[in-house]
Structure 1
Amino acid sequence: MKLKTTFFTMVFLLTLSLGLAQEKKQSPKLINGNVSISKYHSPEELNRLTKGDLLILYVERIEVIVKILPNIAFATKPNVTMATLGIPETKENKKALEENLKASDDYFASTIEYQKTILPYSDSRDLVAAILFYENTLKSLHTYNDFASN
């Protein structure tokens, strides 16, 4: 019985170590997280929404813009990695990317804190205009490659 338990324990540990040894570390992504919006709106749709709903849409669009725009020279969509672009995955390059992603997250967090405090005082018409502007900016990312190919 003891031999059987020892044998199965050894097989289990060997299988586990082989499984972990095969695990390959993923290349860092230039754009992390959810960087898309679920829907673009018409002015009429936005004018029917409550101010609270407009605030939520406004913040969602800011997040997408903050995460994408600084990286459009590399990518406009998520899941693009350094390896995908042919950027050497050196220690320095990975560190620079990690610092950039952290700075972007920190900036977004501080912007949202500010927005939560000040934005409720804005006029709904201005919120609608800002959301439409941000959405048009995000729509233009779909045509970015038209500019890149020139």
Structure 2
Amino acid sequence: MKTKLTLFGAIFFIMMSMGHAQETKIVKKKKNHSESIITGKVNISKYHSRDQLDAMTKGKLLDLYIERIEVIVNILPNIAFATKPGITMENLGIPETKENKKALEANKEASGEYFDSTVEFQTKILPYSDTNDLIAAILFYEATLKSLHTYNDFKED
């Protein structure tokens, strides 16, 4: 019985130390890893036709509307830098100084706060909107998101 207890204790401590080593590795990796300029939700699951939207309940339309706002808030303010996640200041040749990293972090926090307050407002007020206006807004947002695929067409080489 003592042997089983000792063996179990040894295995437990080995597992704990391995977990701590992995955690330390992850923390070190994060410190040295350049942060992406665009984070969060950056795409929608599906584009819709007017007929598809007409067939949906207002609750579903509200969810789609908010999802599209989230993607737009995460991408459009940073479009001059990137249109997809994974692009970092390092990729763009921007010096990764403390000041620049702080500015990026402040931008992400501000975007998050803006999105949160917008969603809070939308969930309270948007249910009073006209369904046709809501559908038009969703279609407009989707057209805007589709146009991101042509963004590079506007760049001069």
- TM-score, shorter chain, exceeding 0.5: yes
For 1:104 and 1:70, locate their aligned partners in 2 and report how far apart those are by CA, in whole Å: 9
Matches within 5 A, 1:69-84: 69-84=76-91
Which residue of the other structure, out of 125, 132, 143, is the alignment partner of 2:132?
Answer: 125
User: What is residue 116 of structure 1 aligned with on the other side?
Assistant: 123
With the length of structure 1 as denominator, give the TM-score of the two structures. 0.85
For 1:60 and 1:109, locate their aligned partners in 2 and report how far apart those are by CA, in whole Å: 12
User: What is residue 99 of structure 1 aligned with on the other side?
Assistant: 106
For 1:41 and 1:67, locate their aligned partners in 2 and report how far apart those are by CA, in whole Å: 21
Shift of the alpha carbon at 1:54?
Answer: 0.2
For 2:26 and 2:41, locate their aligned partners in 1 and report how far apart those are by CA, in whole Å: 30
For 1:22 and 1:61, locate their aligned partners in 2 and report how far apart those are by CA, in whole Å: 33
With the length of structure 2 as denominator, give the TM-score of the two structures. 0.81
Which residue of the other structure, out of 25, 40, 47, is the alignment partner of 1:20?
Answer: 25
Q: Secondary structure at the match of 1:99?
A: helix
For 1:132 and 1:20, locate their aligned partners in 2 and report how far apart those are by CA, in whole Å: 45
User: What is residue 3 of structure 2 aligned with on the other side?
Assistant: none
Corresponding residue pairs, total: 140
Give the fraction of aligned pairs with identical amino acids, expressed as a percent: 64
Aligned partner letter, 2:112:
D
Which residue of the other structure, out of 77, 88, 92, is the alignment partner of 1:85?
Answer: 92
Superposed CA offset, 1:97-123 (max 9, x none):
000000000000000110011000011
Matches within 5 A, 1:30-69: 30-69=37-76
Aligned partner letter, 1:39:
K
Superposed CA offset, 1:2-22 (max 9, x none):
xxx8xxx8xx78xx49x7399
CA, structure 1 residues 22+30, in 2 after alignment: closer, same or farther (shift >3 Å)? closer
Gaps of 5+ in 1: none
Q: Please list every run of at least 4 consecutive aligned residues from structure 1 whose deviation after the TM superposition is greater than 2 angstroms.
A: 19-25
Aligned CA-pair RMSD: 2.4
